Amino acid sequence: MSLRLEGKVAVVIGAAGGIGRGVAERFAEEGARVLIGDGKEAEGRATAAAIGGDFLPVDVSRYDDVQALVDLALERYGRLDVAVQNAGIYPWQLIEDTTPDDWDRVLGVNLKGCFNVARAALAPMKAQRAGRILFTSSITGPRVTGPGHGHYAASKAGINGLIRAAALEYSAWGITVNGVEPGNILTEAIKEHRGADYIADMEQSIPLGRLGSTRDVANAFLFLASDDASYITGTTIIVDGGQILPEGNDFRIEVKNL
């Protein structure tokens, strides 16, 4: 059986842990050479070692760091097929408590980070006349939101706009640009920041009855990175267990004869 990313070279930023780690693992399982960039050096190196990949410390909000990771991919493997920008931060802050610096930090990582990756990946992908650029967006911002997510929601809605703009500009070279919008995904960060009560409550409001796994999200990235998605560009896949569907809280029906 052939592997779905055999011979491909992928950079995945924000892959020391959480969803990004799941994406890096899934890509490596399917035969890709994976280079991880992340701000957390020890965890990033450990993840790269576990999947037989490379690691470079990267602050995705800094263009030169992102360029250095792309250059490393070209130096080691001579090509770049897939570039994933998954790094994101989600501090809970009401707008009235958010300082201009807080705003810049969240937008700098989440949104400017995607611009940096799209810009740095362009030259090698243009030369190859092929490439996949993939961003982690969110249902928060493009579809729904809650209090405390002003900067985060703006950054993720902005990512969806950038996906469409870049997809259009890059189409001339056969490069596709897409994203994944996760709902509530059970990562260590969510367990730590939100706690058991939040998770139990969330399970009640997700039609499929559970939070998503990092592998659920990674499978959507794998599809978008694979040849199966060669005619898809400028869009996102929602991976949320149906969370954005209900109009209200009374959506559960009694299922008879189960």
Ligand X SMILES: NC(=O)c1ccc[n+]([C@@H]2O[C@H](COP(=O)([O-])OP(=O)(O)OC[C@H]3O[C@@H](n4cnc5c(N)ncnc54)[C@H](O)[C@@H]3O)[C@@H](O)[C@H]2O)c1
The residues that are catalytic are: 152
Give the Cβ contact number of residue 203 at 10 Å.
15
Contact pick of 5, 10, 11, 19 for ligand X (by CB under 6 A):
19
Q: How far apart are CA 7 and CA 24, in angstroms?
A: 15
The 173-212 site mask, x for binding ligand X (CB under 6 A), equals ---------x-xx-x-xx----------------------
> Measured from the CB atom, is 19 or 34 closer to ligand X?
19
From 199, 197, 173, select the one nearest 184 (Cα to Cα).
Answer: 199
Stretch that binds ligand X, among 86-94, 96-104, 162-170, 248-256 (CB under 6 A): 86-94
Nearer to ligand X, 31 or 92 (CB): 92
Taking each helix axis from N to C terminus, what angle separates 214-225 and 18-29, rounded to the nearest 10 degrees? 50
Q: Does 109 bind ligand X (CB under 6 A)?
A: yes
Closest CA to 82 of 6, 164, 16, 1: 6
CB of 176 to ligand X, least distance (A): 20
Closer of 82 and 87 to ligand X (Cβ):
87
- The b/e string for 130-165 (b: 16+ C-beta within 10 A; e otherwise) is ebbbbbbbbbbbbbebeebbbbbbbbbbbbbebbee
What residues make contact with ligand X under the rule CB under 6 A?
A: 13-14, 16-20, 38-40, 58-61, 86-90, 109, 136, 138, 182, 184-185, 187, 189-190
